[in-house]
Structure 1
Amino acid sequence: MIGKLALGNVRRSLRDYAIYFVTIALGVAVFYAFNTIDQQSQFLSESTSDTLQLVSTIMTALTYMLAVVLGFLMVYANNFLIRRRREEFGLYQVLGMERRQVSAIMLVETLVASLGAFAVGIALGLLLSQFLVFVSAALFNDTVKQFKFIFSPEALLTVTVCFAITFLVMLLFNLRTVRSVRLVELMSSGRENESQRLRPLPLCIVLLAVSVGLIVWAYVRLTHDGLPVMLDSDSEMTRFWITTAIVTVGTFGLFWSLPTVLIAVQRHIPALYLRDLHMFTDRQIASRVNSASVTMAVTAMVLFLAMTSVSAGMSISSGINAGLETSAPFDTSASFYYYDAPVSADVSEQNWAQGWTAAGQDPEDGLSNATSDTEARIARATEPVDLKALLASQGVDWDALASGVAQANVYSQVGGSTAQYGATAPASSEPLSVARFVPYAKDAATAAVLGSTADENYLPVVPLSSYNALRELLGMEPMTLAGDEYLLTSNVGDKVTKDLYDPALADGLAFQLNGVTLRPAQSTCVTDKSAAFLNSATGWNTGSVVVPDELVRGLPLANSYLAAMAKPGQEQALEDAVSHAWPDDDKRAGYENGYLVGFVSQIVGHTDAVAGSFTMTGLVGYMAVYIGFVLVVSCASILAIQQLSGVVDSRHRCKLLSDLGAPSRLIGRSILAQVLFYFCAPLVVALCHSAVALKQVIDVVAVLTAVDILGTVWLAFAIFGVVYGGYLLVCYGLSWSTIARDIRLARR
């Protein structure tokens, strides 16, 4: 009997269960699809498969975290369903049912609706997972091979466990709610009056002005400071968190004060306030927002987080992948690090610690990075190490594997430390540092992306012969320089090259090197693939200066980069040979006259760079979309449930309006206006926050890649619009059908 009654209730209450059903189905579908990523790897290449296995592990852990969020959402949804049907449950008790029997009905109803939503969600997830195979292939620039329908028992088990835990928690809350409410409360729920008290107008006006001011102030701070890209900078992070706190307080204050101010403004426009049902609509909106101002503020902030994270994640992924052609142009590459000036020529193991401490570096790190040969003495190189010969001594057969090999030697403008960050006196009174370009920048915050120590960020120097050797290896025409000219190269994004470097070069920015004043040979920075001295997943050359060969004499060596192109069909063999050339650290070292001068610090083949890029973009892209989708669905569901709950509370007022002669179309417009305001107010605030934040995100991504990511941002927003707008339409349809049904019943 209880089962039959529960099934009948579910059939009659399909509209009430719609939001609950859709949310469960979407959540299960997305959970299942994203947990089949490991199964997708069987249709893709080995390198992509390894990446997907790592992504799958993280997705599984993330699923359990997001399941907790969805669980709380479902508890909230069921609270609405209970509230919607409290009179019905009270009637059951009046007819003689015990509370445990009413609880049993609720249990069966919830179970049937949940299992139905779960089954639909799994079906949708199966379809989505097949499509996701091709999405993964496109994301990793791979090709699907021997595709067949996939089903993942592991993904089904993961989703089932999450769903079961969510259902049990939800059920316990629901049964507790039903058993704790008194019969008189159940029977009188439809006649309870909703408080419509407005907050003090003077207080709301002041708070609204303060809140808008705080939000604008946060926008100005973020625009000026940019994002804290230098994560090791405590000051940047502190300012960022202060800005976040300011905009959060402003958002909460905005929603707390806005309804009362809007009502007051409309009252002073009688032609608008007294027209149709505007008075009723405004009071309903104000009452609803007053009681849910915290929810709307939280929704706005979560939507802001979701839109920003997904847009940023998708943009970074597409930008990095698109930049691989210029960031990893060689079949294989290696870098060699030279020890610098503070380490004297006669430092041995006994006084190693003293020498490295004087250099401001950790002696343990210096020893472990250098060599395990404790008898070696340390010196600064006077000539570049021949990396081709060093690799040949370890078994690399260049003649059999390579069609061309080139070595680029990089020097420091300063008397010590490294090519990137100078810590001692420069070699001239006018060295070229990032700080020299800042006055020319279109956006001064651009320099912050390159480091908080722009005044010490001296650009490394490359002799023209080394640079042309790389260009010849890549099949490019050599460059020429007069004795007093220089070129600037960089393979990072337009934010650095076009907004920072090019204006200075066009103005003829000069610097002095070894007594010679050098001026730009051309007005723009060289940004083609010859600017990459070493394969990398992203552009890493933030700026290198090419000068005539004679001007590097006497400068300390910083790095040497070896680049090689393979003979046809030998690409993987060459990459493997170079990667396995050193069995231990001793063989990675370079010597000069018996003194240790440096060591091979990095070996990056083209396949390694691509795999590193895809691993990064896969993790960022999938996590951003996964988290963002769940957050948007959660926000839209909460708003829809609260709006439907409000409609249930106010349906008697709508019936009264109908009894007084108000046309149904005006009542329908009133319901539409309430739903639109309730959904659009948080969305508009979130869009304003996102517009300012994404401008900073675009600037940061522009440092990593020259790809325009604006199209990706619009795509992410369009996807969100479809999901969010779908919930809005469902919410309005359910709200109006509930009111229309009550009106029809009253008129019979």
Structure 2
Amino acid sequence: MYSKIAFSNVKKSIRDYTIYFLTLTFGICLFYMFNSVQAQQAVLKLNASQKSMMHLMSVIINGISVFVAIILGFLIVYANQFLMKRRHKEMGIYLLLGMEKRQVSKILLIETLLIGVLALIAGLVSGVFLSQGLAMLTAKMFAVQMKEFKFIFSQTAFIQTILYFAIIFIIVMIFNGITISKYKLINLLNSAKKNQKTRLKNPILSVILFLISIGILGIAYHLIQKNQMLAVDNDFKISVLLGVAGTFLFFFSLSGFLLELAKRSKKFYYNGLNMFVLRQINSKITTTFVSMSMLCLMLFLAISAFATGSGLASSVKTDLEDMTKFDCTFYGLSEKGYQEEQQQKFIKKLDDLGLTIKKDAKEILPITIYQNGTFRKCRYKMEPLLKGREKYSDYTKDYVKKIYETPLTFAKLSEYNKIRKAIGEKELTLKSDEYILNCDYGNLIPIMEKAASDKQKLTLDGKTYKMKYGLQKDTYMVTAAKTDMGTVILNDEIIQSLKIDHSTLYLNLNWKGNAQKVSRKYTEYLKQMIINSKMPNSPYSAIISKEEVYEQSTGLSTIITYIAIYIGLVFLITCAAVLALQQLSENADNIEKYKLLSKIGTSQKMINHAIKAQIILYFCLPLSLALVHSYVGIKTAKILISTLGQINITQAAVQSLILVIVIYIGYMIATYLGSKSMLKEK
């Protein structure tokens, strides 16, 4: 009997469950898709490095999935409470007819189980099929081919999805049972007649608190822009706390402020059903300002994840050509000052071990970067190049001042010219009192260009040198990121006269024949030699090849993109679903009010327009503040991201906004249609 009632209730309330069911299905589908990434290796032609990146991505996504499951769990519990509230009168009638609370609980348990099983089946089926497309996307992002078309099914992801959501639904069932046990018959029958309490009745106080919230948010924005997300210091911590506090205070005072503002324009306030809509919004926001604030912050995180994630992914791939001008580079650090003979000793050692580097390479291009001391304890500092030019960088003035103490690095003109010749650039010449400035670090390039245009002079050990040529932006080794903040190139004999105690040695090579194959051979040999202590005093401790940089770049880009999409979509559908359910619940509670409007002569068209306006306004309020938060956050994050490469943050932000709007509009339409349907039924 209970099963029959439960099935009948689900069938009768199918429209009420539509948004809940579709959101559940979408969440389960996403959960399976992203947790099935590891299984894609079976159909993709991946090398060892790419397999390692895939494994890393799988581990990260599995970790994030725990967090995602918690978020979806809260969504399901929250949505379930709204659905129960919608059916208070129905449950009251069950009790009035003689049912016990445990019997009502049993009916709800069967309903929850039925909806959960159907959503789980629909989500898993959708996820299994859509994961095939995800495998193609992975292949494209890793720039690899698929071995052959093979239907991918991840048993691990399948079981994991069922397990996580089974636990969530068990918690929901327990929660429902506890909630029903606390209900009183009189409260259930009269729940629709209960008035919502107004927390803030004084309109003047609302306006004052609203202005205070704007001030708090302004301070938070100022502090985060000052901090630039470059350090977790007091400015960063305070900006986060003020941002959260300001958001809560904003929504706490917003409804009263909007109502007071609307009253100032009597023509607008008394036009049509504007007064009714504004009163409804005022009542709803006043009682749900906590959830509204949380949704705003989640939307901010979703938009920021989409924009910065896709922007960071694209920036990782930029400048790859500049960073891979050679087939591979051996590199190492030394604290022994000048190391003129180290390259030849290293090459000879390789020859002794059977690696004929001179035969394998068509070009051997060593370059050593010198410095004296470490940060704040160096003899030659970057201060002369930066001082007075702070405004030309995206960094704050205070942050640029911190870089003053960074050691200035040096390179020999002869080695630098060999590098330039190898990459097709013109060789440069210097007099004894001249120097060349090289910098490829994005956030400092504008400052260095200004220093070059000013012909900035440098004084080293009492001798003054003037700059020749404009700023050079060469990357003189194979690297995964541009890190040269400022290197001074001088004639060889001048370099020899400087007081040097630190060196970074690079040995660039261009191979004959199959460069990828040769690079891998030397990479494996060098690792084994170091592990087996066959080269204990080698000046080079590592090797990086062009192929590795490309693989790491594409792998890192894919990981960032997937994480951004995964987190962003989950947060976005959670926010949209909660807003939709809140509005459906609100409109269900207000059916008597709409009936009354109809009785006093209000046309159905005006009532529909009022419902539409209420839904749009309710959805857009948290989104509006989230967009402001996102603008400040993305603009600030751009500075941090740009250290990895150039980024078109505008394009990434626009793409993210389009996705948010599309999903948002979909949920608004579904909410409007659901509200109209409920009103029509009554």
Shorter chain as denominator, the TM-score bin is over 0.9
**In structure 1, distance between residues paired with 2:520 and 2:505:** 18
Q: Is the 8 A contact 1:467 1:546 kept in 2?
A: yes
Q: Which of the residues 262, 266, 269 maps onto 1:270?
A: 266
Instruction: Decide whether aligned partners of structure 1 residues 186 and 329 sit closer, same or farther in structure 2, where only a CA change above 3 A counts.
Output: same
TM-superposed CA distance for 1:320, in Å, is 0.7
Kindly provide the CA deviation profile for residues 200-237 of structure 1, in whole angstroms up to 9, marking residues without a partner as x: 12222221111111111222222233112xx4xxxx52
The equivalent of 2:168 in structure 1 is 166
The equivalent of 2:25 in structure 1 is 25
**In structure 2, distance between residues paired with 1:574 and 1:393:** 19
Tell me which amino acid in the other structure corresponds to 1:664: Q
Tell me which amino acid in the other structure corresponds to 1:572: K
The equivalent of 1:320 in structure 2 is 316
Q: Alignment partner of 2:497: what SS?
A: coil
**In structure 2, distance between residues paired with 1:274 and 1:212:** 28
The equivalent of 2:587 in structure 1 is 647
TM-superposed CA distance for 1:740, in Å, is 3.1
Instruction: Decide whether aligned partners of structure 1 residues 189 and 496 sit closer, same or farther in structure 2, where only a CA change above 3 A counts.
Output: same
After TM superposition, list the pairs within 5 Å mapping 1:215-230 onto structure 2: 215-228=217-230
Kindly provide the CA deviation profile for residues 544-578 of structure 1, in whole angstroms up to 9, marking residues without a partner as x: 22222232122325122101111122432233225
Q: Alignment partner of 1:517: what SS?
A: strand
The equivalent of 2:481 in structure 1 is 538
Tell me which amino acid in the other structure corresponds to 2:582: Q
Greater CA deviation, 320-329 or 209-218? 320-329
After TM superposition, list the pairs within 5 Å mapping 1:120-159 onto structure 2: 120-159=122-161
TM-superposed CA distance for 1:584, in Å, is 3.9
Residue 474 (structure 1) aligned with residue 423 (structure 2)? yes
**In structure 2, distance between residues paired with 1:681 and 1:259:** 10
The equivalent of 1:558 in structure 2 is 503
Q: Is the 8 A contact 2:384 2:458 kept in 1?
A: no
Name stretches of at least 5 consecutive residues in structure 1 with no aligned partner.
342-379, 591-597, 743-748
TM-superposed CA distance for 1:629, in Å, is 1.5
Kindly provide the CA deviation profile for residues 374-420 of structure 1, in whole angstroms up to 9, marking residues without a partner as x: xxxxxx757654343344344321244222111002222x3xx25xx
TM-superposed CA distance for 1:674, in Å, is 1.5
Q: Alignment partner of 1:635: what SS?
A: helix
Residue 280 (structure 1) aligned with residue 276 (structure 2)? yes
After TM superposition, list the pairs within 5 Å mapping 1:226-625 onto structure 2: 226-228=228-230, 231=231, 237-340=233-336, 381=339, 385-386=343-344, 387-412=346-371, 414=372, 417-418=373-374, 421=375, 423-426=377-380, 433=382, 436-443=385-392, 446=395, 453-493=402-442, 495-497=443-445, 499-513=446-460, 516-523=463-470, 525-527=471-473, 530-533=474-477, 535-555=478-498, 556=500, 558-581=503-526, 582-584=529-531, 586-590=533-537, 599-625=539-565
TM-superposed CA distance for 1:435, in Å, is 6.0
Greater CA deviation, 196-205 or 17-26? 196-205
Q: Which of the residues 73, 76, 100 maps onto 1:74?
A: 76
Q: Alignment partner of 1:312: what SS?
A: helix
The runs of 4+ residues in structure 1 deviating greater than 6 Å are 447-452
Instruction: Decide whether aligned partners of structure 1 residues 271 and 198 sit closer, same or farther in structure 2, where only a CA change above 3 A counts.
Output: farther
The equivalent of 1:739 in structure 2 is 679
Residue 683 (structure 1) aligned with residue 623 (structure 2)? yes
Q: Which of the residues 711, 724, 736 maps onto 2:651?
A: 711
Q: Is the 8 A contact 2:25 2:122 kept in 1?
A: yes
Q: Is the 8 A contact 2:379 2:407 kept in 1?
A: no
Aligned residues: 675
| Root mean square deviation, CA, Å | 2.4
**In structure 2, distance between residues paired with 1:488 and 1:145:** 49
TM-superposed CA distance for 1:37, in Å, is 0.5
Q: Is the 8 A contact 2:200 2:206 kept in 1?
A: no
Instruction: Decide whether aligned partners of structure 1 residues 48 and 676 sit closer, same or farther in structure 2, where only a CA change above 3 A counts.
Output: same
Residue 726 (structure 1) aligned with residue 673 (structure 2)? no
Q: Is the 8 A contact 2:394 2:639 kept in 1?
A: no
Q: Is the 8 A contact 1:388 1:562 kept in 2?
A: no
The equivalent of 1:37 in structure 2 is 37
Q: Is the 8 A contact 2:505 2:539 kept in 1?
A: no
The equivalent of 2:14 in structure 1 is 14
The equivalent of 2:635 in structure 1 is 695
TM-superposed CA distance for 1:634, in Å, is 1.4
Tell me which amino acid in the other structure corresponds to 1:101: Q
Instruction: Decide whether aligned partners of structure 1 residues 697 and 281 sit closer, same or farther in structure 2, where only a CA change above 3 A counts.
Output: same
Tell me which amino acid in the other structure corresponds to 1:410: I
Kindly provide the CA deviation profile for residues 111-157 of structure 1, in whole angstroms up to 9, marking residues without a partner as x: 22122211221122123211111222233233333232211111110
Q: Is the 8 A contact 2:79 2:578 kept in 1?
A: yes
The equivalent of 1:51 in structure 2 is 53
**In structure 2, distance between residues paired with 1:142 and 1:91:** 62
Greater CA deviation, 218-227 or 27-36? 218-227
Name stretches of at least 5 consecutive residues in structure 2 with no aligned partner.
none
TM-superposed CA distance for 1:100, in Å, is 2.8
Instruction: Decide whether aligned partners of structure 1 residues 477 and 382 sit closer, same or farther in structure 2, where only a CA change above 3 A counts.
Output: closer
